Amino acid sequence: MVTEQNNKVRSPREKSLIRLFVGILILIGLNVFVSGVYLRFDLTAEKRYTLSDAGIQMLKELDDYAYFKVYLEGDFPAGFKKLRNETKDMLDEFKAYSPYIEYIFINPSAIGDNEKRKALMQELVDKGLQPTDLHVNKKDGNSRMLIFPGIVLQYKGNEIPIELLNAQMGVSPERVLNNSIENLEYKLMSSLQKLLDEKKPTVAFLEGHGEMQSIYLADIIRSLSEFYRLGTLRIDGRMSSLFEVDSAQRKIVPKPLIDALIIAQPLHAFSEADKYVIDQYIMYGGKVFWLIDPVNANMDSLRSSSQTIGLPAELNLEDQLFKYGVRLNANLLLDLNARSIPVVTGMLGNQPQQELLPWVYFPILTPQSKHPIVRNLNSILSEFPSTLDTVSAQKAKKTVLLQSSIYSHIVPSPAIIDLALLENQPEASFYQSPPQIVSVLLEGEFNSLFANRIKPVLKDNFALPKQKSISENTSMLVCSDGDLIKNQIHYTQNYPLPLGYDQFTQQSFGNKDFIINSLNYLTQSNGLINIRSREIKMRLLDKTKVQQSVLLIQSLNVLIPLFLVAIVGLFLAQRRKRKFTVK
């Protein structure tokens, strides 16, 4: 017999409590289940929160804690807040792939003790982080704030500074911040790679042909030493200078000794034997960074005289580079978009008066290419550059990296270089040549210059490897200005300045980043440099319309949620009323 209690129908209140209890149990169980499962969805159009395969692999290789001290905290304008938040989001992505990622955000300006605050800021400068003087507009007036948009990364007792803000000339602040966000993953990953790599790639500077003196390479050598094992070498007609040697069998192994060779502004002609060694180095997969001056011209010759002549350089490299797909032109490239130099314009008493005037022989090259080497890169200094052309090379891909502006002019060599050019305002009608190429990347397979030719006599006492006529898949980079890699020397104290820093205009340019990115691209096999090709589209509000409609926008933001809540409340009330009305 069924009792009355068993037939008793549960009340609506009991049913609601049971449903709530079951729902809570389901949520708890679901959270326990997914806590051990990594599941994230990137719904952004440009996949800004999706890490590269190379970056994920690097994070998985961590075997100790990587500690990021981020000095980007405080009451910032919207742009810097976005950079701060994007940095945090990126580090959170890192943590999702590695348990060894830790970070902290620090506000140096929040330290109450004035002496401690100054000491910390000086410490950050000494570590390599550059401060930014930020102007903040507030309703009660304008204020200034010194911030350090950067990170100090620590790993296994070593540390490295990371600049988060990309400096770019002639670019709006919004675009600078957006470009900085685009490069976040590359900056963080490349810095982490510096500390991770126990076996760094080997890069050598060529000597023996009047190449650039070491004092002018001091800064780039210091910077590259963080990424590479650096050295110098002389060929002197020996294959053993660039290839491994099997001493036991007294033969040269067809395996390059170094990952990349830098040829920086040679002045003397290359012998056929040296050209052959370089050619075979390329044929066996070697990478070469050519920084060549087709015309000999420099400012030193203008110190004693207001006039000099730029003469073609006799380097004996024209046929070799032509075979690989590039023709260096014996001319000088002039451009209205040029760096200023100090010029004595008069005397005040016994003191000479100097003025900074644009010197059209020193073009400022603003990268336009989307290639990862130069994408979002600051403008680059050049001195007496020439032009180059690409020529037919069937299996070689050519990518233009640097070129002049649309206000350029070409002067064939021999060219008279006269400081009197500074006295007159340049005529725009004279500078109407289309953009001229200064740097090009070559990738693919190359034909040997010495195919079907008699091999030159070498000085090796070992058995030589088989001569190759077609290269392995490799790459090289050619620039028609050797000064792209040259740092300035302080004009009074005679010490090397950072590459890309101009002591006269006190501006910093992108030369160092260009050189480092180029070598990273040539030598890296994990494709990390390709992260720089990522693009994040700017979706900015129209500030004028926002200001004009600020009251309407604020009202809608307040009233629309209230209206929606009221509609939902009325609907639920009517539904409940119909459900519990006694018929």
pLDDT tens by residue, 556-583? 888 888 888 888 888 877 877 776 665 5
89 and 174 inside one domain: yes
Contact (CB, 8 A) for 299 and 262: no
CATH assignment of the domain containing 247: 3.40.50
In three-state secondary structure terms, 483 is: helix
229 and 284 inside one domain: yes
Q: What is the pLDDT of residue 179?
A: 76
Q: Give residues with Cβ within 8 angstroms of 561, minimum separation 6.
A: none
Q: Which residue has the higher pLDDT, 75 or 198?
A: 75
219 and 144 inside one domain: no
Q: Which residue has the higher pLDDT, 411 or 421?
A: 411
> pLDDT class for 247, splitting at 50, 70, 90?
confident
Q: What is the pLDDT of residue 46?
A: 53
pLDDT at 441 > cutoff 60: yes
339 and 382 inside one domain: yes
> pLDDT class for 200, splitting at 50, 70, 90?
confident
> pLDDT class for 392, splitting at 50, 70, 90?
confident
Distance CA(112)–CA(120), nearest Å, equals 12
The number of folded domains in the chain is 2
95 and 181 inside one domain: yes
Span 194-214, average pLDDT: 89
Span 207-223, average pLDDT: 94
239 and 370 inside one domain: yes
534 within domain boundaries: no
Q: What is the pLDDT of residue 538?
A: 47
Among the candidates 172, 194, 216, a domain finishes at: 194
In three-state secondary structure terms, 555 is: helix
Span 196-220, average pLDDT: 91
- Lowest mean per-residue pLDDT among 280-294, 391-405, 551-565: 551-565
CATH assignment of the domain containing 174: 3.40.30
Q: Which of 362, 338, 342 is nearest to 354 (CA)?
A: 342
206 and 187 inside one domain: no
176 and 325 inside one domain: no
Contact (CB, 8 A) for 441 and 219: no
pLDDT at 130 > cutoff 90: no
- Compute how many other C-beta atoms are within 10 angstroms of the C-beta atom of residue 245: 17
Q: Are strands 66-70 and 150-155 parallel, antiparallel or unpaired?
A: antiparallel
Among the candidates 164, 194, 224, a domain finishes at: 194
> pLDDT class for 137, splitting at 50, 70, 90?
low
40 within domain boundaries: no
- Compute how many other C-beta atoms are within 10 angstroms of the C-beta atom of residue 278: 23
472 within domain boundaries: yes
Mean pLDDT, the chain, as a whole number?
Answer: 84
Q: Give residues with Cβ within 8 angstroms of 558, minimum separation 6.
A: none
Q: Are strands 287-291 and 474-479 parallel, antiparallel or unpaired?
A: parallel
153 and 300 inside one domain: no
Q: What is the pLDDT of residue 168?
A: 67
Q: Give residues with Cβ within 8 angstroms of 238, minimum separation 6.
A: 277, 458, 459, 460
Q: Which of 95-109, 193-207, 268-282, 353-367 has the highest mean pLDDT?
A: 268-282
Q: Which residue has the higher pLDDT, 22 or 350?
A: 22
The Cα angle at residue 515 between residues 513 and 517, in degrees rounded to 5 = 65
Among the candidates 139, 168, 194, a domain finishes at: 194
241 and 332 inside one domain: yes
573 within domain boundaries: no
Q: Which residue has the higher pLDDT, 2 or 261?
A: 261
pLDDT at 401 > cutoff 50: yes
**HSE-CB of 180 using CA atoms within 13 angstroms:** 25
225 within domain boundaries: yes
Strand partners, 356: 342
Q: What is the pLDDT of residue 135?
A: 66
pLDDT at 133 > cutoff 80: no
217 and 179 inside one domain: no
pLDDT at 2 > cutoff 70: no
Q: What is the pLDDT of residue 265?
A: 96
Q: What is the pLDDT of residue 382?
A: 95
The whole domain housing 376 covers 202-523
CA dihedral sign of residues 264, 266, 272, 273: negative
259 and 162 inside one domain: no
73 within domain boundaries: yes
Q: What is the pLDDT of residue 23?
A: 81
pLDDT tens figures, 510-556: 999 999 999 989 997 656 776 665 555 545 555 566 667 778 878 88
pLDDT tens figures, 460-509: 888 888 899 999 999 999 999 999 999 999 988 889 999 999 999 888 89
29 within domain boundaries: no
List for the chain the helix, strand, coil content (%; round to 5): 35, 25, 40
The single-letter DSSP state of residue 192 is H
Span 284-293, average pLDDT: 96
pLDDT at 1 > cutoff 50: no
**DSSP assignment of 333-369:** EEESSEEEEEEEEEEETTEEEEEEEEEEEEEEE----
Residue 481 tokens read as: 């200005």
Residue 242 tokens read as: 């660039």
Contact (CB, 8 A) for 468 and 280: yes
- Lowest mean per-residue pLDDT among 131-140, 328-337, 367-376: 131-140
Q: What is the pLDDT of residue 541?
A: 55
Distance CA(149)–CA(87), nearest Å, equals 11
102 within domain boundaries: yes
Beta strands in 229-305 (DSSP E): 229-234, 243-246, 251-256, 260-264, 287-291, 295-296
- Lowest mean per-residue pLDDT among 5-9, 43-47, 80-84, 249-253: 5-9
